[in-house]
Amino acid sequence: NFFPAMTKIVGTLGPKSRSVEAISACLKAGMSVARFDFSWGDAAYHQETLENLKLAIKATKKLCAVMLDTVGPELQVVNKSEVTISLEENESVVLTPHQGQEASSKLLPINFAGLAKAVKPGATIFVGQYLFTGSETTSVWLEVSEVQGDDVVCVIKNSATLAGSLFTLHCSQIHIDMPTLSDEDKDVMKKWGAPNKIDFLSLSYTRHAEDVRQ
C-alpha cells in the first residue's frame, strides 16, 4: 500500500548526522529534504556529506532533495577565544563593531559597523544560537539604553550563558543595511550549488521582495 507523504521534513545534516548510517536512518524516518548549512564548514566538508547522502539514497531507495542554506545578512557576535559568557539580568553590556576586542560579560564584539546608526534607545535586540522564547538560558534579550559613538549600550533583560564562537544577533523591526547575498554566498552557489545541481536554495534573513529578486 502506498501513501504519499503529505508533510515534507527538512533535516539539517551536521556533525552528528552526516554518516551514511545516520542519513539512512533519517531517510527511513521520513526526511525528504537534506539541508546543508553553509554558515559553518567548508565546501569540501559539505561535499563529503553530500556523497554520503547519495550512498544513503541508493541504500534505502528513498528520494531526498538537496537544500543549500546561505548565510545571508547575518549579524553575529564574534567570540574568537570561545570563552563562556555569563550575562546577568539588569546588568549592562556594550555591543561594539571593534572585532579585535575580546568578548566578555561587559563587551560583545559584532560583525556590523552600522548598528549604532540603525538603533535607538528602547530598541530590542536578541542574541543567541537559537530563536529566543524567553524561557531558555542560551539566548539573551537586550534593550538599547544609549548609543555612544559606534557602540551600543544595552540593558540585559534575562540571565543567560552564551557558549561557542559565534552567536546570531537579531534586531527587532529594524532595517539593517547589509547585502542579501555576501560574496561568500555567491561563491558557494557558483562552485558548490550549481555543479551539484541542488534542488532548493534557502535565502536566509529575507527582508523584502527585492531580496528574492536578487
Q: Give yes or no: residues 18 and 65 share one domain.
A: yes
CA trace torsion 36, 140, 92, 111 (10° rounding): 10
Q: pLDDT per residue over 157-198, tens digit each?
A: 999 888 877 778 887 767 777 788 888 899 999 999 999 999
Q: Report if residue 33 sits inside a domain.
A: yes
Q: Give yes or no: residues 99 and 134 share one domain.
A: yes
Q: What is the mean pLDDT of residues 196-203?
A: 95
Q: Give yes or no: residues 13 and 34 share one domain.
A: yes
Q: What's phi and psi for 101, nearest 5 deg?
A: -80, 155
CATH number of the domain at 189, please: 3.20.20.60
Q: Report if residue 154 sits inside a domain.
A: yes
Q: Give yes or no: residues 15 and 61 share one domain.
A: yes
Single-letter amino acid, residue 16: K
Q: Report if residue 206 sits inside a domain.
A: yes
Number of domains comprising the chain: 2
Rounded distance between C-alpha atoms, residue 83 and residue 77, angstroms: 12
Q: Give yes or no: residues 124 and 206 share one domain.
A: no
The answer, yes or no, to whether residue 131 has pLDDT greater than 60, is no
Q: Give yes or no: residues 108 and 51 share one domain.
A: no
Rounded distance between C-alpha atoms, residue 45 and residue 34, angstroms: 15
Q: Report if residue 131 sits inside a domain.
A: yes
CATH number of the domain at 86, please: 2.40.33.10
* Long-range Cβ contact pairs of 80-83 (< 8 A, separation 24 or more): 80/165, 82/163, 82/164, 82/165
Task: List C-alpha distances in Å: 85 to 79, 128, 140, 146.
Answer: 9, 11, 11, 22
* pTM for this entry: 0.71
CA trace torsion 157, 127, 163, 18 (10° rounding): 140
Would you say 66 and 36 are in contact if contact means Cβ atoms under 8 Å apart? Answer: yes
Say if residue 56 is exposed, middle or buried (CB neighbours under 10 Å; 0-12, 13-18, 19+): buried
Q: Report if residue 4 sits inside a domain.
A: no
CA 188 to chain centroid, in Å, comes to 16
Q: Give yes or no: residues 43 and 123 share one domain.
A: no
Q: Give yes or no: residues 87 and 64 share one domain.
A: no
Say if residue 29 is exposed, middle or buried (CB neighbours under 10 Å; 0-12, 13-18, 19+): exposed
Q: Give yes or no: residues 92 and 157 share one domain.
A: yes
Q: Give yes or no: residues 145 and 197 share one domain.
A: no
Q: pLDDT per residue over 39-89, tens digit each?
A: 888 899 999 999 999 999 999 999 999 999 988 777 888 888 888 999 999
61 is in which domain, residue-wise?
A: 9-72+181-212
Q: Report if residue 2 sits inside a domain.
A: no
Q: Report if residue 114 sits inside a domain.
A: yes
Q: Report if residue 3 sits inside a domain.
A: no
Q: Give yes or no: residues 28 and 96 share one domain.
A: no
Rounded distance between C-alpha atoms, residue 46 and residue 34, angstroms: 11
**Beta carbons within 8 Å of 122's beta carbon, 6+ residues apart:** 143, 144
Q: pLDDT per residue over 1-20, tens digit each?
A: 566 767 889 999 999 999 99
Q: Give yes or no: residues 18 and 35 share one domain.
A: yes
